[in-house]
Amino acid sequence: MSTAAAKQPSDPGDPLPEKVAREAVARGEHSLKSLLELSRDVSTSTDLYATFDLLLLTIMGQFGTSRSALWLLAGAHRESAVLTRSHGFDQPMVKSMVDRCEPVLREQLQRTSAPLLAWRLHPALGPSEFRLLVESEVALFAPLLAEGEVMGWLALGPRLNQLPYDPDDLAILQTALGMVSVSLHNTLLTRRLFESNRQLQSWNAHLEELDRLKTDFLNNVNHEIRTPITVVMASLECLEGVVLNEQARGLLQSALTKSRQLHARLENLLSFSDAINERLPICLKTEDLCALVRAYYEERLPGVTAELREFQCEAPAGLSTVRVDRQRFRQILDQLVDNAVKFTPRGSHIRLDLGCVRHEDRDWIQVTLGDDGPGIPPEQMRSLFKSFEQGDGSSTREVGGLGMGLAFASLLARRMDCLLRARSEVGRGATFELLVPIATLTITAARRPEPSSS
Amino acid sequence: MSAECEIESFQVGSSIKVTRVCGTLDAHSAMLLVDHASRVRGAKQHLVLNLAGVFLIASSGVGALLAMVEEFRHGPTSMRIAAPSPAVDSVIRLLNLYDFLPIDPDEEVAVATLEAAA
């Protein structure tokens, strides 16, 4: 508040200096009271624009001016100044003035971090900008600061009583704006947080709905297609007993093979759907993995080699037993072997190996399925075990399938407390490793009797 | 945020709205008053603001008075402040604003002034 007293008619019974001093004290008390009220009201305000109005009206009343305006810097990098509220100013004129003077204004306010009398901008402004500043009748600018950065500014017109803004006034203004800046900054942050949460919730709900639709679709497709396929397979199998010529028999065998493949794929799809819905039953039993893998290899060898991929296996006997679901274990190997055949050219080599590894302070039996095919590009490695994504997502992809095999295999592995991982280098093949925990049996040793002292 | 504040408004003649304010003129009631004045101005009416019943006026209340007076100054209608209470009078004088606000001693004088100017 100005310490320069305005001219007042003197009371004949009261010495002038005492009256002036009393008035100065009264104005000081009024200023302090205004600051306290502003602090209280700003801290309880929940509406952003109400806070703007509160600030402007309080400052106008405090300093006795009928003109005020507030700009906030908007955008991710606070790149644009937005006029949020104004009283008394010619809005188009003052807006145009700030647009023209903004770079200088911003720089000066950031540099000083304090209220700035408008005429002090004169040296940095061009003649036309300064003329605009004068015509707009802005007397001073004061920055709103958040974490040391300008987040906006207040503009005030001249005082109605024509008294200048002195250093005490600027100090009070800076204090007031300091309080308001913190409140505004917090309010803006809170608003953005609420909006981000709202968007996240909306996206989550949308994703949940999409997931449900996908599951429903899978279930419907499964059951709608499974039944006719079963009928087709049964019909074809009946035809196997009919006497047919060589050509017809060849066609029949081809139809039967493909329909069995389609049936198997549908079974996988249903199992995958069940697994996602956690309906898939898992029955763990103690198994000799070496025997399981050897039997599996013998079964798959004819088919893989028929596709002109050399298939080898090394499964040493004597490894520890494991607890797995035999059917699910075979399904995992099916996915890995099918993929190796699918994604390698004829003449490639595929190896199925068994060994022991130590991982995360535990002992595992590792089943390794490796090939020397083209390998998997790094960008596809990231989504390798995600459903409905294949290496080539285009509709004209060379290799058929639904893109669910590895996701399904990974799911089955997790359900059996196993780990499925992959590594690959482009041009040097791909290797899949299924880690199966070794079944442990805890035996509590009986305590040996203490030796007698005699 | 706001203590009690009552705003009562009635029509005098065809073009003057008299508004009586009682209670505290603080941040919350100040904004209500500014909005009310905007509506009166928008309806092309003059406004007499009777502050006889205001026992406490904050800086935001003073700011509201200044904002309203300035807005009416730029329009076709006018505003007068009538019968400021001792609390209002002392704050206005403390801020050296008495000579810059259109203040009348009572409601009748304010209405008469506006009727004469119309």
> Which of the two residues, B117 and A109, has the higher pLDDT score?
A109
Question: Which residues of chain A have a pLDDT value below 50?
Answer: 1-10, 393-400, 442-449, 452-454
Minimal CA separation from B16 to chain A, in Å = 23
Classified as helix, coil or strand, A81 is: strand
Cβ contacts of A96 within 8 Å, gap of 6 or more:
A132
DSSP string, A82-130: EEEEEESS-HHHHHHHHHHHHHHHHHHHHHH-S-EEGGGGGGGS-HHHH
The predicted pLDDT at position B70 comes to 92
Across the interface, whether the CB atoms of A58 and B34 are under 8 A apart is answered no
Top residue of A66, A91, A180 to mutate, by most chain B CBs within 10 Å, is A66
Give per-residue pLDDT as tens, B2-44: 457 889 999 999 999 999 999 999 888 898 999 999 999 999 9
Q: For all residues of chain B together, what is the average pLDDT?
A: 91
Minimal CA separation from B117 to chain A, in Å = 23
User: pTM of the prediction?
Assistant: 0.57
Distance of CA A84 to the CA centre of its chain: 32
The predicted pLDDT at position A433 comes to 96
Q: Chain A residue with minimal CA distance to B63?
A: A61
Residues of A in contact with B96 (CB under 8 A): 6, 8, 64, 161, 163
- Written as one letter, the residue type at A60 is M
- Select from A262, A189, A182, A253 the least CA-distant residue to A228: A262
The predicted pLDDT at position A388 comes to 56
Strands A322-324 and A349-359: unpaired
Q: What is the dihedral of CA A217, A220, A221, A226, to 10 degrees?
A: 160
Q: Which of residues 137-176 of A touch B (CB under 8 A)?
A: 160-161, 163
Across the interface, whether the CB atoms of A61 and B27 are under 8 A apart is answered no
Top residue of A51, A57, A166, A169 to mutate, by most chain B CBs within 10 Å, is A57
Partner B contacted by A259 (CB < 8 A) = no
Q: Chain A residue with minimal CA distance to B67?
A: A66
The predicted pLDDT at position A89 comes to 92
Across the interface, whether the CB atoms of B60 and A58 are under 8 A apart is answered yes
Tokens of A220: 């419907």
- Select from A382, A383, A368, A366 the least CA-distant residue to A430: A368
Give per-residue pLDDT as tens, A189-205: 777 787 788 888 888 88
- For residues A428 and A417, give the distance between their C-alpha atoms in angstroms, rounded to a whole number: 30
Q: Is the ipTM of this complex over 0.85?
A: yes
Report the residue from B31, B61, B96 with minimal CB separation from A6: B96
The predicted pLDDT at position A81 comes to 86
Residues of A in contact with B61 (CB under 8 A): 57, 61
Classified as helix, coil or strand, A420 is: strand
The predicted pLDDT at position B2 comes to 47
Mean pLDDT for B68-80 is 92
Partners of B54 in the β-ladder: B23
Q: Which of residues 33-72 of A touch B (CB under 8 A)?
A: 33-34, 37-38, 40-41, 44-45, 50, 53-54, 56-62, 64-68
